[in-house]
Amino acid sequence: MYPEIEPHASGHLDTGDGNLVYWEECGNPAGKPVVFLHGGPGGGCSPSHRRLFDPSAYRIVLFDQRGCGRSTPHASSTADLASNTTWHLVSDIERLRSFLGVERWQVFGGSWGSTLALAYAETHPSRVTELVLRGIFTLRSSEIDWYYRGGAANLFPDQWEKFMAPLEGLDGDPVELYSKLLASPDPSVHGPAAVAWSTWEGATVTLLPRPELVEEFAEPSYALAFARIENHYFVHGGWFEEGQLIRDASRLAGIPGVIVQGRYDAATPAVSAWDLHKAWPGSELVLVPDAGHAYDEPGILAALLSATDRFR
């Protein structure tokens, strides 16, 4: 990765509905604009995300999506997520682009960030110079069923047992049941549920175990915002029509794009990347043979850096 850098500008963008979205700029102020869309939803940005782009060539824009990271109000302290939807976030990206005086920019997103990048680019294709996507997730019901309704339990029965522990004695859809637990005002209810939800992801996103990553996902404040926001989006199907992002991929024709996908990605299996590649004219698919889902696994990281270097 490129060396560590610090922002040269940052602030909070007022969305006009009570949310303040944190943003920052790094790299070359006169360089090629790129916006980084983090995962989750609810994951927030980290300093390492700045290092995916050549700082001498890129004007690097990062922001924390509503309810997480340094944006306020934070979902760890409020359960009111009515104004936190995919289409609110798409509007936030456009508002930030206009605020920063950017005409067109490269859009980079992984996992949920790929979902949001596709939603944005299919809505505003004239504003996108290129797309760099990783770990494709399109919020189709089959994808939620796989990861949150028992499919991936076939690969991770030990971790699935921990994920299901807060639901012991309850009957029904795990996603809906978690929604009720996470909305509880009782910390003894929503706290353990949030940690179980979040650590399921931390324990299953890499090809080889990374205990330090699981610890990060288990931090209570992070876990609560992460779990509440993710579950909120998944209960509502991302506010998409079924299969919408793949269906509308023809709108991306003419936008150069690279899709980087781990062959053994258990969180967002490769079939979604394959389906997107087939539906997106001119896209390039890089299947990394020895990787799971995380952006910083060696093969995935190399492919992402190759893509951003090529487009700089």
Instruction: Give the active site residues.
Output: 111, 265, 293
- Other C-beta atoms closer than 10 Å to the C-beta of 254 total 10
Rounded to the nearest 5 degrees, what angle is found at the Cα of 198, between the Cα atoms of 44 and 291?
80
Burial class, 300, CB count within 10 angstroms (exposed 0-12 / middle 13-18 / buried 19+): buried
Contact indicator for 101, 25 with CB cutoff of 8 Å: no
* 304 dihedral zone (left: phi>0; alpha: psi -120 to 50; beta): alpha
Q: What is the largest CA-CA distance in the chain?
A: 58
Rounded to the nearest 5 degrees, what angle is found at the Cα of 27, between the Cα atoms of 253 and 53?
45
The encoded tokens of residue 206 equal 């890499």
- Could you give the CA distance from residue 36 to residue 116 in angstroms, rounded to a whole number? 11
- Could you give the CA distance from residue 32 to residue 265 in angstroms, rounded to a whole number? 31
In 58-71, which positions are buried (b, 16+ CB within 10 angstroms) versus exposed (e)? bbbbbbbbbbbbbb
Measured distance between the N- and C-terminal CA atoms of the chain, rounded to whole angstroms: 15
- Could you give the CA distance from residue 172 to residue 183 in angstroms, rounded to a whole number? 17
- Could you give the CA distance from residue 22 to residue 158 in angstroms, rounded to a whole number? 37
